[in-house]
Amino acid sequence: MIIVIFVVFAAAGFLVSRTLKSKFKKYSQTPLKANLSGAEIAKLMLADNQITDVQVVSVEGQLTDHYNPLNKTVNLSPDVYYGRNASAAAVAAHECGHAVQHAKSYAWLNLRSTLVPIQNSASKILNIVLIASLFGGFALGLPYEFVGYIVVGAYGVMTLFTLVTLPVEFDASNRALAWVKTRNIVTPDEYAMSKDALKWAAMTYVVAALAALATLAYYIFIFFGNRD
């Protein structure tokens, strides 16, 4: 069953990722009439939101764009940092949306940040238990039910993290789209492209959340579903 879950969501993830890359490639071929680069758009959005302590930097890779709340940097891949197209505008504004969330103490972002170390610990615990189970069953010497609580609890935390990520990502996109529209960064056609690109980016998180929920349900059934 777990293999079926893995295959189904791996296939869904592949299709979404492939569509996302196709959309970004397509929209990157349409130059912005405003002729602004992703870096310029990011700096302008930060300035409009009175955010002066966040830097916009270029990082290596493709689709490696992210906001780092620890050192307050908006990290843009070269295609986005230097790009002057709808895709670059969408991604740059989206990442700045996270910076705005941080500056305004957006509740879901704060919760997600709080969950990061807990989620990392849960992931390590889950890996230890699952690896141990491969070498001689429950070699840790723990009762089956107790192991179930550990696995379900750890995966429950990881699933919660993926669910909390959803409103954070959707809100960042909404902030980005509202700003590029009211600031006249994009034309109506370019706005439609930006919105579509961000929609498919968000779908990657939706698939991850659904996969986590399905896997959590599987573990709950395996450990506790056969009780009389």
The rounded radius of gyration (Å) of the Cα atoms in the chain is 21
Q: What is the pTM of this model?
A: 0.89
pLDDT in tens, the chain (228 residues): 677 877 888 899 899 999 999 999 999 998 999 999 999 999 999 999 999 999 999 999 988 999 999 999 999 999 999 999 999 999 999 999 999 999 999 999 999 999 999 999 999 988 888 777 666 555 556 677 777 888 899 999 999 999 999 999 999 999 999 999 999 999 999 999 999 999 999 999 999 999 999 999 988 988 887 655
Would residue 169 show up in a list of annotated catalytic residues for this protein?
Answer: no
| Active-site pick, 40, 95, 169, 190 | 95
